Structure 1
Amino acid sequence: MNANRLLLTGSTGFVGGAIQQRILVDEQYDLTIAVRREVGAPSTVHAVQVADLTAQTDWTDALQGIDVVIHSAARVHVMNETSADPLAEFRKVNVEGTLALARQAVAAGVKRFVFVSSIKVNGEGTTLGQPYTADAAVNPSDPYGVSKYEAEQALLALAQETGLEVAIVRPVLVYGPGVKANFRSMMKWVQRGVPLPLGSIHNKRSLVALDNLVDLILTCVEHPGAINQVFLASDGNDLSTTQMLQQLGVALGKPARLLPVPMSWLNLAFSLLGKRDFTQRLCGSLQVDIAKNEQLLGWTPPVSVEEAMGKTAAAYLAET
């Protein structure tokens, strides 16, 4: 398939912003971005203002002449959730809003819809050495993951109904220049020389560099092997939490100060603090198998973990 015009949603987000920048650098496509408010977009980008993502959003202007939609906008994790029914709120945006966009895309003659989903569709963690695969049974356990899975299913059903080509990408934890949340906190701890009781963690975590994720998403824009398929996104190089912190120390030029505290002690300490879920995120395993990406797309991660960590650390140091 030869695509000329792309519509990108979520262009102000971490992943969407990187997709926009890559497209502008490559100059391969004419880009339209959907925005909720006026933004200072580059002159080479067509920005169309749309309402919040719901079942009622009118995408008519944004979809004019579009060949492919890359949909990265979503309701993501909400800290201090106040809704009495969080799943209903996630569904309004991630399921109903996504399907409304896809149906209008079909009506406008769009050929392909690339959906940025989440590894949370698969679940929250794996047994060491038993990675998730793209076509295995799923087990979403929080409202966000459930809503992403329901959106995937609705899109694949629409594909069967209409002939729209759907490609789904489920990233693991994404890192790169400008990363926030826990990954940024880890960089701060290492850069400040804070002693961390994480020197003896033998888990395995799959991560995906922002550059690698963007490359996979853009590969799905035109590759015939992507049609109606699900792909998992990672760097293909799993690290333990200890190894990740050590790698960050190298990238930051500040060796991580890691204390070899037994895992049983950490479990007890986090349980007493009411942070059992944090233990899983920090010390549990979550691995994915990306062999399908090479088999169907001929895709392997173009950026190494060392290079990606270096870029991430350099951006962090420049900001601080």
Structure 2
Amino acid sequence: MKIFVTGATGFIGSALIQKIETYEGYSIIAATRHPSDSENHVCLNLEDNFDVSSKLEGLDVVIHCAAKVHVMNATPDTLMSDFNTVNTKGTLNLARQAAAAGAKRFIFLSTIKVNGESTESGKPFTPDVERAPHDLYALSKYEAELGLRELAEQTGMEMVIIRPPLIYGPGVKANFASLIKLASKGLPLPLGAIHNQRSMVYVGNLIDLIVNCISSPKAANKTFLVSDNDDLSTTQLLSALAKAMGKPSRLIPVPASWLMTVTKLLGKPAIGERLCGNLQLDISETKSCLGWTPPYSVAEGLKQTVSEPSQQK
């Protein structure tokens, strides 16, 4: 089976390729933004009006992990244009070329932000989307999803859409890396009384689902939510991180309402929402459709994540 993977050197793409290479009968073409002399490599810049059709001949599956996530110091108009160019137009351009080349399936890594930024208690997200997202990044992914479904109807190429929440694992960066550093210091933190529930997914669990979707006939034209199937509060997560690192957990029980008020006064309400709000996914449809369960527990995922020395500096 011939598989084309975009974002091949990224956090998800590199782990995915490493996993696929353990299977016999699978060959990989790795697409990145940087040129390489390897015959199994394609230079692909989604910001350009690219043509990689010659590299897609005889292809079975495209797994599209590449995306623009952050744009520094940009105006809303620039953000909208950049996200749309890469995440919407770039995705659909690649999918059209793949369909024309005879690819059987296109797996698109979207985001749970398509559903929204938070959930009410006891009302987790399902694959259904009630309204278009306001966040520009999420909107670009949502519009790509719509275009892919339309293309599937027109061409017969099967689409699989996967919406993960926060992804963690060895080499994770951004907010999760900051949490690891906080937990590693063993300092007192005012985060000991937060009773929210948030879904996350260990990169090993996400990769396992993607690999299942490569060949499962039941995955055709489906949208899947994915998580570790074990939601944690911020308090539980920090305690679990400290335990995984063998560090003391010193969490002071400050009411979540106080934290929300303070972050609003500081002009950082989004931080308060991420620390104290709910974001839950219902993955029951994913599990029942594919007969799939996450192979790694949260404890196993966190242990692997913090075992990388750079995460504890």
Quickly name the TM-score band, shorter chain normalised.
Answer: over 0.9
Partner of 1:309: 302
Larger CA deviation: 128-137 vs 148-157: 128-137
Q: Is the 8 A contact 2:119 2:125 kept in 1?
A: yes
Alignment counterpart, residue 138 of structure 2, candidates 145, 149, 154? 145
Alignment counterpart, residue 40 of structure 2, candidates 27, 38, 46? 46
Taking the aligned partners of 2:88 and 2:157, their CA distance within structure 1 comes to: 17
| Corresponding position: 1:66 with 2:43 | no
Q: How does 1:131-280 map to 2 (within 5 A)?
A: 131-280=124-273
Taking the aligned partners of 1:238 and 1:268, their CA distance within structure 2 comes to: 25
What amino acid does structure 2 have at the position aligned with 1:286? L
| Corresponding position: 1:84 with 2:81 | no
Percentage identity across aligned positions?
A: 50
What amino acid does structure 2 have at the position aligned with 1:95? T
**Scaled by the length of structure 2, what TM-score is found?**
0.95
Question: Which blocks of at least 5 consecutive residues in structure 1 are unaligned?
Answer: none
Q: Secondary structure at the match of 2:206?
A: helix
Partner of 2:86: 93
Partner of 1:34: 31
Q: Is the 8 A contact 2:4 2:31 kept in 1?
A: yes
Q: Secondary structure at the match of 2:21?
A: helix
What is the deviation of 1:66?
1.0
| Corresponding position: 1:5 with 2:2 | yes
What amino acid does structure 2 have at the position aligned with 1:233? V
Taking the aligned partners of 2:295 and 2:288, their CA distance within structure 1 comes to: 16
Q: Is the 8 A contact 2:177 2:311 kept in 1?
A: no
What is the deviation of 1:26?
3.0
What amino acid does structure 2 have at the position aligned with 1:120? K
**Structure 1: 4+ residue segments shifted above 3 A:** 82-85, 316-320
Partner of 1:121: 114
Taking the aligned partners of 2:269 and 2:235, their CA distance within structure 1 comes to: 19
Taking the aligned partners of 2:33 and 2:257, their CA distance within structure 1 comes to: 48
Q: Secondary structure at the match of 1:61?
A: helix
Q: Secondary structure at the match of 2:267?
A: coil
What is the deviation of 1:301?
0.4
Q: Secondary structure at the match of 1:282?
A: helix
| Corresponding position: 1:14 with 2:2 | no
Q: Is the 8 A contact 1:55 1:100 kept in 2?
A: no
Q: Is the 8 A contact 2:126 2:283 kept in 1?
A: yes
Partner of 2:95: 102
Taking the aligned partners of 2:25 and 2:173, their CA distance within structure 1 comes to: 29
Taking the aligned partners of 1:319 and 1:192, their CA distance within structure 2 comes to: 9
Q: Secondary structure at the match of 2:8?
A: coil
Instruction: Describe the shift of the 1:195–1:279 C-alpha distance in structure 2 as closer, same or farther (beyond 3 A).
Output: same
Q: Secondary structure at the match of 1:266?
A: helix
Question: Which blocks of at least 5 consecutive residues in structure 2 are unaligned?
Answer: none
Q: Is the 8 A contact 1:197 1:258 kept in 2?
A: yes
What is the deviation of 1:40?
7.9
Taking the aligned partners of 1:212 and 1:179, their CA distance within structure 2 comes to: 15
Q: How many aligned residue pairs are there?
A: 313
Taking the aligned partners of 2:265 and 2:134, their CA distance within structure 1 comes to: 24
What is the deviation of 1:141?
2.0
Taking the aligned partners of 2:274 and 2:84, their CA distance within structure 1 comes to: 25
Instruction: Describe the shift of the 1:274–1:316 C-alpha distance in structure 2 as closer, same or farther (beyond 3 A).
Output: farther
Taking the aligned partners of 1:138 and 1:82, their CA distance within structure 2 comes to: 24
RMSD: 1.7
Taking the aligned partners of 1:28 and 1:131, their CA distance within structure 2 comes to: 38
Instruction: Describe the shift of the 1:171–1:316 C-alpha distance in structure 2 as closer, same or farther (beyond 3 A).
Output: farther
